[in-house]
Amino acid sequence: MSLSIRNQLSGTVLTVTPGEVMATVRVRLTGGQEITAAVTREAVGELGIAAGSEVRTLVKSTEVALATGAVEGLSIRNRLPGTVRAVTAGGAMAGVKVAVAGGELTAAITKDAVEDLGLAPGAEVTALIKATEISLAAV
């Protein structure tokens, strides 16, 4: 199985909190960061996800936002500090590669955002990912 989903970081499940329809799954990545994924409760059941499960967290590039400077008071659960490695700009969108502990992320953001934030190789950023945007793969 090869996926178009650019962002795939491995980790171990810490906790699963089931709701009636959705469940939140907390994962410690191999890079040491903690990630929360909100997936359907059905998926958790079918994949047999529980504390201790090895998983891969999957995030589409279009779901990754970037912040420069301090991040606080934000509902977005997932914040991975990193360093910009490369920026590729198209007419409307741009792809930004960010090295994070344990791997690399790609963020597809608007070209305007790249310009406003002055993003260039070497910039320190925090990758932000809403919990509802994270999928899980059982490994």
Residues 70-89 that bind a second copy (CB under 8 A): 70-77, 88-89
CB of 42 to a second copy, least distance (A): 7
Of 129, 130, 135, the residue nearest 98 (C-alpha): 129
x/- map, 109-138, a second copy, by CB under 8 A: xxxxxx-xx-x--------x-xxxx-xxxx
**Quick one: which of 9, 13, 23, 105 contacts a second copy (CB under 8 A)?**
23
Joined tokens for residue 52: 């201790």
Of 80, 82, 74, 2, the residue nearest 34 (C-alpha): 80
CB of 49 to a second copy, least distance (A): 8
| Alpha-carbon torsion, ordered 132, 76, 6, 103, to 10 deg | -130
**Quick one: which of 12, 30, 42, 51 contacts a second copy (CB under 8 A)?**
42
Joined tokens for residue 139: 């490994």
